Amino acid sequence: MLFTETRGNDGIHAGSVSFSDAILSPVASFGGIYSPRNIPSVDTQFLSSQIDASYKALSLALLELFQVDVDTDILKQAVELYDRFDNPDNPVPLVKISDRVYISELYHGPTRAFKDMALQPFGLILSELARQQNQQYLILTATSGDTGPAALETFRQRDNIRVACLYPCGGTSDVQRLQMVTESADNLKVIGIDGNFDDAQAALKSLLASSSFSKALSAHNIALSAANSVNFGRIIFQIIYQFHSYLELLRQQKIEVGEEVNLHIPSGNFGNALGAFYAKKMGLPVARIYIASNVNNVLTEWINSGKYDLSSRRLITTNSPAMDILKSSNVERILFDLFGQQRTRDLMKQLDENGFYQLNNEETDQIQAIFSASFCSDEEGQQYISKHFGRGYLMDPHTATCFKSCELADDQKMNIVYSTAEWTKFAPTIDLAINGNRSSGDLESLNAIARTANIDVPDLIEELFSKPVCHDGIVDKADIEAQILAFVDKSVQS
């Protein structure tokens, strides 16, 4: 598989790169990203041939179709990491909600959110490629809560990789914060900043622009890389489970081979949805992809009207913080795929300069031929959580947004809802929905939910509250660079 730039070429960056180049150096000309030039297609025979395949076998079959330039041996090791999920034989269970609605649970990995689906194998691949090139990398990430823990977990003690993770203090759940600050591996640095996710991202951007920072890193011969959701090394693993969920419906004999299904995706940076887009493009029988948002409904507006408008919006804090995003980075790959480089460059320029672009009618029709969109308020989300808990299913607030989406869908078709986090990650919201409690923190809520639902708080989560904290306090913005460089110095010496 070859990759090309979404915004055309500036004569400096490479215009066409392999998979491994695209994941090690994801930045392309004019602020664009690398996107596949073309994507393989499959037929119903392929689906039939995979009916008995394990998740790992399916992953390898698809990776082979993509012809990525990574040794088969490394790919094998990467997909072996799904053995860390609750049930290695089926890391992504499909659970029935009603005759027409099934939930594909993407959160059974080590950090209990869907980020593990991609970051687990991606971490190993990146580290192995770095080792083959004999190059040290520093990965900078800013997180609103789920990416941070998953990135730390996948890179802990991996060769040739250091991670510095910025998170907004007070902007995450207790569980998410503890997952990060109790990380003890010495190649990981966690920095809490005073502010929200946007401030964390701004701090990261200013680091990337700092010449003293890049000079200090090159003096140590350390290159910068990124593990954020535009990295194609993550997207590729988000195509696989779209196939898996479909195959699960086949295995459970709920559909016939070739029968079209709807997918419902709680969306933020549009990585999960992009995986669905490519799966559909490859030939997976998907009728429509339903994009679920919270009240930060910029994607709903984009799909329903062709207008992407940041100019009149401010970010609103909601109960589904992983979807509190206005500039949804992977949308750019949809523009590129449907409208080409020049148009993508023009549209992204308008967005950067004016905070706004409007697709024409023909383009909007093309988007609407694939996607539908809706948004769900916190109050509505609470009602879905409570209603489905009453019927025996416990879901997190991100997943809940998809139930609004299901109500709008054609129910002649089978609907797959993607569940992106375990209840344990957003306990206070769920406690309020099912018990009416306004608790003082995650631990109280976890215990209250466990009592009501007659289940145990998983050990993995409970243990977080007694683990020693390794990364303490709030770091002043002015000190972030010095702290990361001190961490790098120390790790180079050891």
Ligand X SMILES: *Cc1c(COP(=O)(O)O)cnc(C)c1O
Q: How far is CA 213 from CA 39, 155, 447, 478, 493, in A?
A: 38, 22, 44, 13, 18
Cβ-based nearer residue to ligand X, 182 or 318: 318
CB under 6 A: which stretch of 50-58, 113-121, 134-142, 216-224 binds ligand X? 113-121
**∠ CA 179-181-186, rounded to 5°:** 105
Applying CB under 6 A, does 264 fall inside the site for ligand X?
Answer: no
What φ, ψ does residue 261 adopt, rounded to 5°?
-125, 160
The CA-based diameter of the chain, rounded to the nearest angstrom, is 63
Q: Tell me the closest approach of the beta carbon of residue 223 to ligand X, in angstroms.
A: 25
271 binds ligand X, rule: CB under 6 A: yes
Q: Please report whether residue 75 would count as binding ligand X according to CB under 6 A.
A: no
The verdict on 269 binding ligand X (CB under 6 A) reads yes
Q: Return the number of other C-beta atoms located less than 10 Å from residue 356's C-beta.
A: 13
Distance CA 492, CA 64 (A): 37
Shortest distance, CB of residue 276 to ligand X, whole angstroms? 10
What does the alpha-carbon distance between residue 131 and residue 450 come to, in Å, rounded to a whole number? 44
Q: Smallest distance, Å, CB 213 to ligand X?
A: 27
Q: Rule CB under 6 A: which of 375-434 touch ligand X? A: 398, 420-421
Rounded to the nearest whole angstrom, what is the least distance from the CB of residue 266 to ligand X in the complex?
5
What is the x/- site pattern for ligand X, positions 194-233, by CB under 6 A? -----------------------------------x----
Cα 491 to Cα 163, 164, 241, 389, 484: the distances in Å are: 11, 12, 36, 47, 11
Which window, 217-225, 261-269, 386-394, 460-468, contacts ligand X (CB under 6 A)?
Answer: 261-269
296 binds ligand X (CB under 6 A): no
Residue whose CB is less far from ligand X, 104 or 160? 104
Q: Does 286 bind ligand X (CB under 6 A)?
A: no
From CA 292, how far away is CA 143, in angstroms rounded?
21
User: How far is residue 303's CA from residue 285's CA, in Å, rounded to a whole number?
Assistant: 21
| Closer residue to ligand X (CB): 160 or 294 | 294
Residue 43 tokens read as 């037929």
Residue among 23, 2, 4 at smallest CA distance from 14: 4
Q: Among residue numbers 341 through 370, which ones bind ligand X (CB under 6 A)? A: none
Q: How far is the CB of 361 from ligand X (least distance, A)?
A: 26
Amino acid at 213: F
- Given the rule CB under 6 A, which of 49-57, 88-96, 178-186, 266-274 is the region that contacts ligand X? 266-274
Among the listed residues 35, 141, 267, 319, the single contact to ligand X using CB under 6 A: 267
At 108, which amino acid appears?
H
Backbone angles phi, psi at 370, to 5 degrees: -110, -45
List CB contacts of 297: < 8 A, sequence separation 6 or more: 375
Stretch that binds ligand X, among 1-9, 43-51, 79-87, 262-270 (CB under 6 A): 262-270
Q: Which of 192, 268, 306, 428 binds ligand X (CB under 6 A)?
A: 268
Q: Kindly tell me which residue out of 22, 165, 261, 322 binds ligand X, with binding defined by CB under 6 A.
A: 322
Q: Closest distance between ligand X and the C-beta of residue 138, in Å? A: 23
Q: Closer to ligand X at the Cβ: 187 or 420? A: 420
332 binds ligand X (CB under 6 A): no
Binding residues among 115-174 for ligand X as defined by CB under 6 A = 115, 146
In the complex, the smallest distance separating the C-beta of residue 286 from ligand X, rounded to whole angstroms, is 17
> Which residue, 248 or 422, has its beta carbon nearer to ligand X?
422
Q: How far is the CB of 417 from ligand X (least distance, A)?
A: 12
Q: Compute the distance between CA of residue 411 and CA of residue 232 in angstroms, rounded to an integer.
A: 33
Q: Report the nearest approach of ligand X to the CB of residue 71 (Å).
A: 28
Contact (Cβ atoms closer than 8 angstroms) between residue 139 and residue 115:
no
Q: CA-to-CA distance for 138 and 114, rounded, in angstroms?
A: 23
Question: Computed from CA positions of residues 71, 76, 79, 81, in that sequence, does the dihedral angle turn out positive or negative?
Answer: negative
Given the complex with ligand X, which of 160 and 269 has the nearer CB atom?
Answer: 269
The CB density around residue 313, as the number of other CB atoms within 10 Å, is: 13
Binding-site size, ligand X (CB under 6 A):
18
Report in angstroms the alpha-carbon separations of 145 from 174, 177, 179, 200, 346: 10, 7, 9, 11, 32
Please state, in angstroms and rounded to a whole number, the distance separating the CA atoms of residues 388 and 403: 10
Residues that bind ligand X (CB under 6 A): 113-115, 146, 229, 266-273, 322-323, 398, 420-421
